[in-house]
Amino acid sequence: MALEIERKYLVRDDAWRTLAQGTQYRQGYLSTTPERTVRVRLIADKGYLTIKGISKGAVRMEYEYQIPVDEAQTMLDELCEKPLIEKKRCKIDHKGLTWEVDEFFGENQGLILAEVELQNENQQFEKPEWIGIEVTQDARYFNANLIRHPYQVWRNKP
C-alpha cells in the first residue's frame, strides 16, 4: 500500500522566494468525497492521475499514475469540477528534507502553503524560518476543498 505522510503549513514571509524556481501546476478533481479524492494534474508537459484516501492525522493512502498529456488536458477542461487549481510549486531543500511551497493563483490568489513529506508520522524535523502555523488538520487548506470554498471567499473571516 502506498502511503503519503505529509505536514502542511502556512508560509510566514517571502524569504523562500529566493531559494528555488517554480513549476506551474494545473489540477482538477473528478471526486472530492472525504473518503477519496481523484485528481488530474498537469505539470509542465506531463499528466498525472492521483487517487488519495481519507486523511488519518498526517497519513493517507495515495496512488499516482502518469497519463497522456492530451487526456489530462481533456479531463481538466471537460470532466473536472471548477474552478481548477492553478499554482506555482517551488521545491526547497532544508536540513535533509524537501519542502514544497505552493503559491496559488486565480480564486485562491494570496494563499501560500508549504508541505513536507515524512518517513513516519512522528519524524522529528527542523522547520525553515519562513514556515508559519501548521494547518495539516484544517480541511479549508486541502486542495480538493479549495475548489468549492476558494481562499478569496474566506481568507479574512475568523
pLDDT tens digits, 103-134: 999 999 999 999 999 999 899 999 999 999 99
CB neighbour list of residue 100: distance below 8 Å, 6 or more residues apart? 89, 90, 91, 92, 114, 115, 116
CB neighbour list of residue 114: distance below 8 Å, 6 or more residues apart? 8, 9, 10, 11, 16, 99, 100, 101, 102, 128, 130, 131
pLDDT of residue 55: 82
Residue 58: give its domain's CATH number: 2.40.320.10
> Which of 29, 63, 65, 151 does the annotation list as catalytic?
29
Cβ-contact 147, 29 below 8 angstroms: yes
pLDDT of residue 114: 98
pTM of the entire structure?
0.90
User: What is the number of other CB atoms lying within 10 angstroms of the CB of residue 95?
Assistant: 9
Per-residue pLDDT of 81-91, as tens digits, reads 999 999 999 99
Sign (positive/negative) of CA torsion 53, 57, 12, 126? negative
- Torsion angle defined by CA atoms of residues 110, 146, 24 and 112, in that order, rounded to the nearest 10 degrees: 30
Cβ-contact 40, 72 below 8 angstroms: yes
User: What is the number of other CB atoms lying within 10 angstroms of the CB of residue 105?
Assistant: 15
Q: Is 25 a catalytic residue?
A: no
Residue scoring higher pLDDT (1 or 2): 2
How many domains does the structure of the chain reveal? 1
Label residue 18 by pLDDT band (50, 70, 90). very high
Per-residue pLDDT of 51-70, as tens digits, reads 999 888 888 899 999 999 99
Residues in the chain: 158
In whole angstroms, give the CA distance from residue 104 to residue 110: 7
> Which residue range is the domain that position 71 belongs to?
3-154
Residue among 67, 95, 91, 77 at smallest CA distance from 28: 77
Residue scoring higher pLDDT (1 or 144): 144
What is the percentage of the chain residues whose pLDDT exceeds 70?
Answer: 99
